[in-house]
């Protein structure tokens, strides 16, 4: 079956449909990872987006039961050069076509993903539509122009937990505010014996403190950080009361909570191969990333310092408070997919918690 992908600037790609059929719009973004497509498809941070994979062959190891980062897929569409319909892996349980069909995600293959990626890189992220129903590109282009941008969609409530739940552990209690948390964040905390209490993003500071946590974790999530002002207010209230560690959207929320600003990147950072420099040690880490917004370093107050930078464009990749046990990174130390080089940051968070507990005599 034929499928069309059109961009708001009038660019049209014709390919072959796989997965679900129908029509869907979203922000068209690209991911440079060679592997990890299952984690990408189930990462809640991709909610509202049509994801283009730059690696030319996707689906060759199928879908398995272990590598999910959420219970379902939140992507609006999936774009590949070639879809492998004969996966080979001892863990495989489904073909990627079967998985996308089950999840209601429209896929398109057989298009020039290099040309599409260059277009996004040179002209910036754009709105787009994938359709298996309408064959007239002009109609779809007009539709794409009239779809909402990512900012203002308030995507966090779509992917975040609605109820409080606890993942048991024998160590310190950590409250994780879920803006669309990947499962591996909970695993990384749990592997360090933490009891993880996962709460909705609308949970009040008073409710969080009543749980008697020893640390506060802010998860990743989709969309514009200014779309969750209630979360910024919560973090602002708690930032001097608990050790805090923020990842991705959580990092941006910390930046806003201390009085900084954020802005949208031209085409974002998405993939498992982004070089980041730790300014304190001078060491370079290869990181997993997925974000379209960043903190404006010039807007930060004097008590916050930039701890990490992206070596591709020098944007902010980490923040650290000069006097409080508060830090954050824009990238994903839990990986999934990607290198585990930065998992030590969870140990740093635990060190902050231990020091906090000792100083408070708790």
pLDDT bracket for residue 361 (50, 70, 90): low
What gap in Å lies between CA 282 and CA 299, rounded to an integer?
Answer: 24
What gap in Å lies between CA 9 and CA 19, rounded to an integer?
Answer: 26
Q: 172, 251, 274, 332: which is the annotated catalytic residue?
A: 332
Q: Is 172 one of the catalytic residues?
A: no
What gap in Å lies between CA 127 and CA 28, rounded to an integer?
Answer: 6
Q: What is the pLDDT of residue 362?
A: 57
Q: Is 332 one of the catalytic residues?
A: yes
Task: Tell whether residue 350 is among the known ligand binding residues.
Answer: no
What gap in Å lies between CA 107 and CA 20, rounded to an integer?
Answer: 7
DSSP 100-122: HHHHT-EEEESS-HHHHHHHHHH
Task: Tell whether residue 292 is among the known ligand binding residues.
Answer: yes
75, 48 in Cβ contact below 8 A?
Answer: no
Mean pLDDT along residues 9-24? 98
Residue 299 has pLDDT above 90, yes or no: yes
Task: Tell whether residue 223 is among the known ligand binding residues.
Answer: yes
pLDDT tens, residue by residue, 67-99: 999 999 999 999 999 999 999 999 999 999 999
Q: What is the pLDDT of residue 360?
A: 78
DSSP 287-309: EEEEEEEEE-GGG--TTEEEEEE
Identify the structural domains of the chain with CATH numbers, from first to last: 2-145 (3.50.30.20), 156-360 (3.40.50.880)
C-alpha distance from residue 14 to each of 26, 78, 207, 307, 309 (Å):
17, 14, 51, 44, 38
Q: Is 334 one of the catalytic residues?
A: yes
pLDDT tens, residue by residue, 117-143: 999 999 999 999 999 999 999 999 999
Mean pLDDT along residues 212-217? 98
Find where tokens 């787009």 sit: 128
Q: 195, 248, 308, 317: which is the annotated catalytic residue?
A: 248
Helix axes 249-257, 229-238, angle to 10 degrees: 70
The candidate with the shortest Cα–Cα distance to 143, out of 275, 318, 26, is 26
Ordered alpha helix ranges (H), 14-112: 37-41, 96-103
Model's pTM, two decimal places? 0.96
Task: Tell whether residue 293 is among the known ligand binding residues.
Answer: yes
Q: What's the mean per-residue pLDDT of the chain? A: 97
Q: Are strands 215-218 and 173-177 parallel, antiparallel or unpaired?
A: parallel
């Amino acid at each position: 079956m034929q499928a069309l992908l059109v961009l708001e600037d009038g660019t049209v790609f014709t390919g072959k449909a796989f997965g679900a059929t129908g029509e869907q719009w979203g922000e068209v973004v690209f991911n440079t990872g060679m592997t990890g497509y299952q984690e990408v498809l189930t990462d809640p941070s991709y909610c509202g987006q049509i994801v283009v994979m730059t690696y030319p062959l996707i689906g060759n190891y199928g879908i398995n039961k272990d590598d999910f980062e959420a219970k379902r897929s939140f992507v609006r569409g999936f774009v590949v050069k070639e879809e492998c319909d004969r996966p080979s892996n001892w863990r495989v349980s489904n073909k990627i076509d079967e998985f996308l069909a089950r999840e209601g995600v429209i896929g398109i293959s057989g298009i020039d993903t290099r040309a599409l990626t260059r277009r996004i890189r040179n002209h910036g992220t754009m709105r787009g539509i994938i359709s298996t129903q309408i064959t007239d590109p002009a109609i779809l282009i007009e539709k794409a122009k009239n779809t909402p941008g990512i900012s203002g969609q308030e995507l966090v409530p779509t992917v975040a937990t609605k109820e409080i739940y606890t993942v048991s552990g024998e160590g310190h209690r950590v409250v994780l505010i879920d803006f669309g948390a990947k499962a591996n964040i909970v695993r990384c905390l749990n592997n360090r014996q933490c009891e993880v209490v996962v709460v909705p993003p609308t949970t009040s500071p008073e409710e969080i403190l009543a749980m008697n946590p020893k640390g506060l974790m802010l998860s990743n999530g989709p969309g514009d950080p200014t779309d969750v002002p209630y979360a910024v207010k919560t973090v602002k209230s708690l930032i001097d009361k608990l050790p805090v560690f923020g990842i991705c959207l959580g990092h941006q929320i910390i930046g806003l909570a201390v009085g900084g600003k954020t802005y949208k990147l031209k085409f974002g950072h998405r993939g498992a191969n982004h070089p980041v420099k730790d300014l304190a040690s001078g060491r370079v880490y290869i990181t997993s990333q997925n974000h379209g917004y960043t903190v404006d370093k010039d807007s930060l107050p004097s008590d916050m310092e930039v701890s990490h930078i992206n070596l591709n464009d020098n944007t902010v990749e980490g923040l650290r408070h000069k006097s409080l046990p508060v830090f954050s990174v824009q990238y994903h130390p839990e990986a999934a997919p990607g290198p585990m080089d930065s998992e030590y940051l969870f140990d740093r968070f635990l060190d902050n918690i231990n020091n906090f507990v000792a100083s408070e005599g708790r």
